[in-house]
Amino acid sequence: MRTKLLALVAVLVVATGCWRGATSPRPPWHPNPNMDNQPKYRPQAASAFFYDGATMRLPVEGTVARGELHEDTAFYTGLDERGQLVAQIPIEVDDALLERGRERYGIYCAPCHHQRGNGKGVLWDRAQIQSADLHEERLRSAPDGQIFDVITNGLGLMSGYKYPIPPADRWAIVAYVRRLQSEAGS
Amino acid sequence: MSSLKSTPDSKDYWRSLDRLLESPAVREAVGEGAENEFPAGASDAPGGVDRRSMLTLMGASFALAGLEGCRRPVETIVPYVSAPEYVVPGIPKRYATTLPAGAGAHGVVVESHEGRPTKIEGNELHPSSLGAANTWTQAEILNLFDPDRSTSVQRRAAGETAHRPSSWKFFDAFLAERRPELEANGGEGLAVLSGTYSSPTLARLATKLASRFPKSRWVVYEPFGDDNVFAGCEMAAGRPCRPVYHLEHARKILALDADILHTESESLAAARGFAAGRKAATPDDDMNRLYVVESALSLTGSVADHRVRLRSREIGAFATALARELGVEAAAGEATWPDAVDAKLKLLAADLAASTGEALVVAGRRQPPAVHALALAMNQALGALGRTVTLHDLEDAGTGDSQAVADLVGGMREGAVTTLLILGGNPVYTMPADLDFGAALASVEHTIHLSGYLDETSQQVAWHLPETHFLEAWGDARAAGGSPSVVQPLIAPLHGGRSAVEVLDRLFGDTPDAARSGYDVVRETWLEVLGAGDFERKWRRVLHDGVATDEVLGDRAPAAGRAEGAPTIRVGESPAAGPGAMDDSSGAGAGSDTLELTFHPSLATWDGRFANNAWLQELPDALTKITWDNAALISPATAEQFDLASGDLVTLGYRDRTLDVPVFVLPGQADGSVALALGYGRTAAGRVGDGVGVNAYLLRHSAAPDFDGGLSLTKIKGSYELCQTQEHWDMEGRDLVREATLAAGFAGEKLDPEKSHQLFPSHDYSQGPQWGLAIDLGSCIGCNACVVACQSENNIPVVGKEQVGRGREMHWLRIDRYFSGTPDDPEVAFQPVPCMHCENAPCEQVCPVAATVHDRDGLNAMVYNRCIGTRYCSNNCPYKVRRFNFFNYTKDTPELMKMAMNPDVTVRSRGVMEKCTYCVQRISEARIAGKRQGREIADGEIKTACQQTCPTEAIVFGDIRDPESEVSRWKASDRDYVLLGELNNRPRTSYLARVRNPNPEWV
């Protein structure tokens, strides 16, 4: 009788959900697998095979993918055939490009370099770390290719942005930075 | 229904000999009619330890995950630490690279997901692949991720019995220790053994080896090389050369024991050219005609307009008689054959001669050099040289030489070889048994084997070195026509291996170790190939295109075959003229009436190198439909003579060796000729390939490696179960394959859908793209490339021999093979059958959970996680194209194999029905890309995997609402028909009737 009573209490405890809301360090129950987790490598997933634990691998150095011939080195790297930084933006600068540049600058550059390009973005507000002032004379006189190169590969504390910003957008930012500089100068 | 037999010439097709004979075994197996659609045992669970279970054992990594039981797996996000440019996670990239293939090369384009190769396709710019890829090339992706690959250097010190793991550091130290001695004695006792190659870098290193170590030797051995072809070409033209055939320019083609469309070199280009000459839209169009003379039924023989069965031994004499008929001065011994063959020979000669300048004669690699010389002489007599066949120099190639191989093995035995470096290959397994390479290896002091697997050869050498896969290392290769291309890697070596180029380069010790990679060695070669001027730009262009075009090469383009005038073929003076020349092929004194044995590469494992590839092992042989096995193929008449049936065991005796094999009766095989596929019976292939089939190399003799008489055949007790995909899904006596002849025309009757009954209202298909597929049976050569493409693209599991035997194979696309005519000399037709995507799909109406439904683009879609596995849909499918996961075939996928899966396609679980989706992931990819760019999807932008890889372009996919699309134009053809049209399922997949072009005078 007593065991039956205890069993009834136990059932009631469970049935009324006394553990509802309790925390557990373990992942939740998932009784129906439903092909939610498949034996295939997905982007940005973990791998038990590679030493760095990532499914994503770097393309082998020196290989050229289809559609990435990029013979126009000035456009894709900011360097001319002799390996020198190009002086001029290799594409035509028009209002659409400048508008695109303004938008991209606002997303990627302004947090550090500030909307006006004075190098006192949010990083300065929070931690008094100044980024490069785009109105400095050395940057005003730098070739366009150098600004492109710094966006691509980074410099000092700044990391490279070649991954999130495609080359056309990088040139748009370069064009917009030039506009900022000339406006400040006038 | 009256329109059932509406084709102009209906034939009586039979699916197999058993079917034709209505044997009791077949009645029992398939049941009669509809009462038992599946073969007996198809619903039973597997018993014992089958191959599936062995595959299951591989998944140690997954077993750990199983501890967590029913809890949701923890997923971690692992981004790039330093993200590379131009990689967007989830968007695949494509790289052109090259698969070195003997003395040629296959240009391929490899799909890469975040730096991991996932699928191999043909490179449309490469002259040898033209955008197509064959079964073996595509299956290489599975070899790359094979968990059985060798992962470390293994060393067996003198006196030890087993290998111990070592490292490249120790091997480099060993080389450094050996080098001074070799340099001092000029490389005395040093030998390199490799397979056939055609690579500028390997050729440069071979030259360097010869100058640095002048007393060393480099020997080439290839189980299925083109050595006879090259020797015959040299015999006829007076210089080493190779013929390259241009079937697209030929109107009459004769193949002498040559499977030009599948197993011969340059088969992809040949298949494309052949199909180009057969795409007749109306009976007035021009069409080529193919004659095949062969012993064993090949794919080429299957699609031939006329096929003459002759034993391989007799083909030399046939060629001689034909040559004389064509006016070539060629004397040879008298041959005797039935009058019928003689009449055919005369008709053949007349028909070839009628198309002078547009005829082509090709001899197979199995035939001796003299036959190749004769073929060239005939081509010259037919005015084909420079038109349908061009002769090219063998540039940068290392080709086989059986005498050098015999000398090497002799030298090894006598102790003249002290250091043997084996670059790839598996000579202990693939060398003819009489050479006993394994025993000779024991007499060599220092043996080194570079190999992807710890295979039969590796087990007997002192040093085993793990070789990189071609997708892991830099290299180069020349196509048959001479166009060079670079092998660019898709991923860093998974197991730290080195390529043949890197191993050879380090042999010289010119640079500190680790300083030079394969990249540097290959670039050094290409400075010469491309020239130093503007090198960087040209180099990138070659990597991007996957081949060095003449435009990039400029005046360095391969010279032969382009402008060269026809060389003088002097067959009259060549040894081919001597009566003895033909006797070479008939071996040691064998009488002409003895049984003949012919050796063939396996359509699955080739020479054995693909034995551990589960996709290929499970791929049904194109003609026998056998999976996971080889068998001795005999003709029905020979079977009757020896009282044999398929599956009986026999003992084959040849010279002083015997071998027990199962026989298989294949219609179309030459009487008195036994065909045996090499590449099976491996003992150290890996978990998949060990012990599959019978090792026919044990009967191969170096004196007659391709075919010979003098075979004895004895029936022994017992039988063997050969698992075929043949007797399943029988479609009783309906005109599934329709045929027509060019002369008779091919306007078939079409059904009027309005007159047919319909139980349910139709869907609305008036908006958006409506996808459809058309398959040209006139072009299909049954090569199975589409089946492997589908398997690779759609993550289709492998189920093992036992499950295949129960009719549970999972291929979404199967190729049905039908015979018609007499069992001795049948005609063959192939029919690829994917899902029909019926507009009135019978499967949808019976699904209780709406797991299979139509989408608005007309696709019959499968919702995997709604499926509860009732299998009603499969029962109700008239085409039997639905596949059911009876077990969780993918549960224990090894970690490496997960990389071979297409991330864009669901990996299905147990209890789920699946089938062809028209590659819906590719449709989605194109739709998303079109939406982003604000445009409609262009016709031809979406190619299904099967269409993409097809060597003959027999499949086309597109929007059937667009009347201008390619698929609409195909479907508008008179030849167009659908399978079982009278059911009014309105399939979206339709077929173009096969058109043959027979010689009206043929007897």
Nearest CB to A63 within list B78, B537, B543: B543
Among A35, A40, A58, most B C-beta atoms within 10 A, so best to mutate, is A40
| Residue B11 pLDDT | 56
Residue B874 in tokens = 């499969």
Residues 6+ apart with CB under 8 A from A76: A70, A167
B951 in Cβ contact with B132 (< 8 Å): yes
Q: Is B540–A31 a contact, with Cβ atoms under 8 angstroms apart?
A: no
Q: Is B907–A39 a contact, with Cβ atoms under 8 angstroms apart?
A: yes
pLDDT at B566 over 60: no
φ, ψ at B131 (rounded to 5°): 90, -5
φ, ψ at B864 (rounded to 5°): -60, -45
| Residue B583 pLDDT | 43
Q: Does A38 touch chain B (CB under 8 A)?
A: yes
Among B110, B898, B902, B908, most A C-beta atoms within 10 A, so best to mutate, is B898
Q: Is B899–A28 a contact, with Cβ atoms under 8 angstroms apart?
A: no
| Residue A104 pLDDT | 95
In A, which residues are within 8 Å of B144 by CB distance?
Answer: none
Average pLDDT over residues B203-231: 92
Nearest CB to A57 within list B114, B896, B908: B114
Q: Does A129 touch chain B (CB under 8 A)?
A: no
| Residue A161 pLDDT | 93
In A, which residues are within 8 Å of B494 by CB distance?
Answer: 49
d(CA A105, CA B848): 55
Give how far B473 is from chain A: nearest CA, Å: 9
Tell me the C-alpha to C-alpha distance, in Å, between residue B993 and each of B125, B222, B653, B736, B904: 30, 40, 45, 10, 34
Average pLDDT over residues B274-281: 85
B82 in Cβ contact with A153 (< 8 Å): no
Q: Does A4 touch chain B (CB under 8 A)?
A: no
The per-residue pLDDT of chain B, averaged, comes to: 85
| Chain B stretch 779-808, residues whose beta carbon is closer than 8 A to a beta carbon of chain A | 795
B569 in Cβ contact with B237 (< 8 Å): yes
pLDDT at B283 over 80: no
pLDDT at B735 over 50: yes
Average pLDDT over residues B721-731: 67
Split at pLDDT 50, 70, 90, the class of B64 is: very low
DSSP assigned state of B425: S
Least confident of A63-72, A133-142, B588-597: B588-597
In A, which residues are within 8 Å of B70 by CB distance?
Answer: 29-31
Q: Is B94–A65 a contact, with Cβ atoms under 8 angstroms apart?
A: yes
| Residue A14 pLDDT | 65
Among A36, A63, A80, most B C-beta atoms within 10 A, so best to mutate, is A63
Name the one residue in this structure whose structure tokens are 């071998």. Answer: B659
Among B71, B74, B78, most A C-beta atoms within 10 A, so best to mutate, is B78
| Residue B875 pLDDT | 93
| Chain B stretch 885-924, residues whose beta carbon is closer than 8 A to a beta carbon of chain A | 890-891, 893, 895-899, 901-903, 906-909, 912
Residue B465 in tokens = 């070195």
Nearest CB to B78 within list A38, A49, A53: A53
- Among B548, B451, B554, smallest CA distance to B503 is for B451
d(CA B324, CA B332): 10
Q: Does B228 touch chain A (CB under 8 A)?
A: no
Q: Convert the pLDDT of each residue in B546-560 to its tens digit.
A: 999 888 887 777 765
Give how far A162 is from chain B: nearest CA, Å: 6
d(CA B480, CA B365): 15
- For residue B400, how many C-alpha atoms fall within 13 Å in the half-sphere facing its CB? 20
| Chain B stretch 474-513, residues whose beta carbon is closer than 8 A to a beta carbon of chain A | 488-492, 494
pLDDT at B790 over 80: yes
In A, which residues are within 8 Å of B533 by CB distance?
Answer: none
Q: Which residue of B has its CA nearest to A56?
A: B114
Split at pLDDT 50, 70, 90, the class of B515 is: low
Q: Which residue of B has its CA nearest to A72?
A: B537
Q: Convert the pLDDT of each residue in B388-416 to its tens digit.
A: 999 888 888 888 888 999 999 999 999 89
Split at pLDDT 50, 70, 90, the class of B36 is: very low
- Which of B662 and B45 is assigned the larger pLDDT? B662
Give how far B851 is from chain A: nearest CA, Å: 14
| Residue A16 pLDDT | 61
Among A60, A82, A149, most B C-beta atoms within 10 A, so best to mutate, is A60
B965 in Cβ contact with B748 (< 8 Å): no
In B, which residues are within 8 Å of A149 by CB distance?
Answer: none
| Residue B171 pLDDT | 92
Q: Does A66 touch chain B (CB under 8 A)?
A: yes
B849 in Cβ contact with B867 (< 8 Å): yes
- Among B699, B697, B702, B707, smallest CA distance to B656 is for B699
Helices B535-545 and B518-530 sit at what angle, rounded to 10 degrees? 110
Nearest CB to B85 within list A30, A61, A163: A163
B888 by Cβ neighbours in 10 Å (0-12 / 13-18 / 19+) ranks as middle
Tell me the C-alpha to C-alpha distance, in Å, between residue A115 and each of A98, A99, A109, A156, A167: 14, 14, 8, 21, 21
| Residue B996 pLDDT | 87
- Among B892, B891, B906, smallest CA distance to B794 is for B906
Average pLDDT over residues B564-582: 48
Q: Convert the pLDDT of each residue in B673-725 to its tens digit.
A: 999 999 999 999 988 999 899 999 999 998 889 999 889 999 999 889 888 88
Residues 6+ apart with CB under 8 A from A4: none
In A, which residues are within 8 Å of B865 by CB distance?
Answer: 34-35
Q: Which residue of A has its CA nearest to B889?
A: A39
Q: Convert the pLDDT of each residue in B825-840 to its tens digit.
A: 888 889 999 999 999 8
Give how far A52 is from chain B: nearest CA, Å: 9
Split at pLDDT 50, 70, 90, the class of A3 is: confident
| Residue B586 pLDDT | 40
d(CA B173, CA B167): 10
- For residue B550, how many C-alpha atoms fall within 13 Å in the half-sphere facing its CB? 8
Least confident of A51-55, B155-159, B643-647: B155-159
- Which of B995 and B14 is assigned the larger pLDDT? B995
Nearest CB to B890 within list A36, A39, A70: A39
Q: Convert the pLDDT of each residue in A170-183 to its tens digit.
A: 999 999 999 999 88
Q: Does A53 touch chain B (CB under 8 A)?
A: yes
Q: Does A5 touch chain B (CB under 8 A)?
A: no
Q: Convert the pLDDT of each residue in B163-194 to its tens digit.
A: 999 999 999 999 988 889 898 998 889 999 99
| Residue B580 pLDDT | 38
| Residue B30 pLDDT | 46
Q: Is B72–A28 a contact, with Cβ atoms under 8 angstroms apart?
A: yes
Among A51, A57, A170, most B C-beta atoms within 10 A, so best to mutate, is A57
Q: Which residue of A has its CA nearest to B541?
A: A69
pLDDT at B600 over 90: yes
| Residue B42 pLDDT | 47
| Chain B stretch 34-73, residues whose beta carbon is closer than 8 A to a beta carbon of chain A | 61-62, 68, 70-73
pLDDT at B130 over 80: yes
pLDDT at B300 over 70: yes
Helices (H), strands (E): how many in chain A?
8, 2
- For residue B32, how many C-alpha atoms fall within 13 Å in the half-sphere facing its CB? 3
Q: Does A63 touch chain B (CB under 8 A)?
A: yes
Q: Does A52 touch chain B (CB under 8 A)?
A: yes
Tell me the C-alpha to C-alpha distance, in Å, between residue A179 and each of A98, A101, A131, A186, B236: 8, 10, 19, 11, 74
pLDDT at B67 over 60: no
Split at pLDDT 50, 70, 90, the class of B35 is: very low
Q: Does B81 touch chain A (CB under 8 A)?
A: yes
pLDDT at B888 over 60: yes
Q: Which residue of B has its CA nearest to A153?
A: B85
